[in-house]
Structure 1
Amino acid sequence: MNKDMFEGKWEQLKGTVQKQWGKLTDDDLDVIKGDVKILAGKLQEKYGMTKAEAENAIKDFKD
């Protein structure tokens, strides 16, 4: 799934994202709006991941 598809399907994916990363709140998901960079930043903030770890986690999720 590429970036445009991820952003376009965000409303459908929000529930799945929240199941994967339960520390993300509804407010976090509203701010993210499918933007991979913001999602990576929130994962770093909430889970203490490095930038590379967050990007890899998102890549694995998208695959």
Structure 2
Amino acid sequence: MDSDVLKGKWKQLSGKVKERWGKLTDDDMDVAEGHSEYLAGKLQERYGWTKEKAQEEVKNFSSKL
């Protein structure tokens, strides 16, 4: 799923995102609004992952939708 589709379906997907990555806050979700780069950055910050790991997590998540 590309970034545009992710943005378009963000309201529907935000629950699944929080379920998968529980350390994300509601504020994180509101600001992210489907922006995969921001989401990866927040994952990196909250979980202490490398940039590559966070981007891979977002990519894997979006490919399963």
Give yes or no for TM over 0.5.
yes
Distance in 1 between the 2:2 and 2:36 partners? 10
Gaps of 5+ in 1: none
- State the AA in 1 paired with 2:8: G
Q: Which residue of 2 aligns with 1:19?
A: 19
Task: Tell me the percent identity.
Answer: 54
Normalization by structure 2: what TM-score? 0.94
Question: How many residues get paired?
Answer: 63
Normalization by structure 1: what TM-score? 0.97
Q: Which residue of 2 aligns with 1:52?
A: 52
Q: Which of structure 1's runs of 4+ aligned residues deviate more than 4 A?
A: none
Gaps of 5+ in 2: none
RMSD: 0.5
Distance in 2 between the 1:62 and 1:36 partners? 9
